[in-house]
Amino acid sequence: SPASEKATEQSNNLAAIESLLKQYGSDKLIEFLKYHFKPINATDFDPIGEIAFTVDATQTITSFVVPSSNTGVLKFVGQAASDPTLFNSATWILRVNGTPLPYWAVTTQKGSIVQPDPVTILLQPGTTILLECTTSGFGSYPVTIAGRLKGWYW
């Protein structure tokens, strides 16, 4: 029955939390949970940028700086282009403090502006995160490119 399945799921979740508590202690568990579940005292960030490209170029589409006294987490990334064929000749890169994330240099659309792609990237105080786009060999300029970074800090 659905009630029985829900009770089993809750029991399994409780057992997992108790195991993590024993293994890592309450401070580590609380910190872990803040990255996955938004704390009550958290502040959202959700910058959306839009840039018109007229030639092949590399440009920052959007960025965010975590306040120096806070820790944050990036939870979603979205991309869009006024001409969808742009995704065949563009590379999207997420950078953290200027360093590209190797697993997030993509040549496809991973998430839209309306339905961004879920990620979990931990952000230390003062961290700058940016979404950059490089176009190469795209022949149908001008094109408008948009990006979204969504998460929270506390």
Q: Which residues, at least 6 apart from 107, have a Cβ–Cβ distance to it below 8 Å?
A: 87, 88, 90, 91, 92
How many percent of the chain have pLDDT more than 70?
A: 99
**Digit-coded pLDDT (tens) for 92-126:** 999 999 999 988 888 888 899 999 999 999 999 99
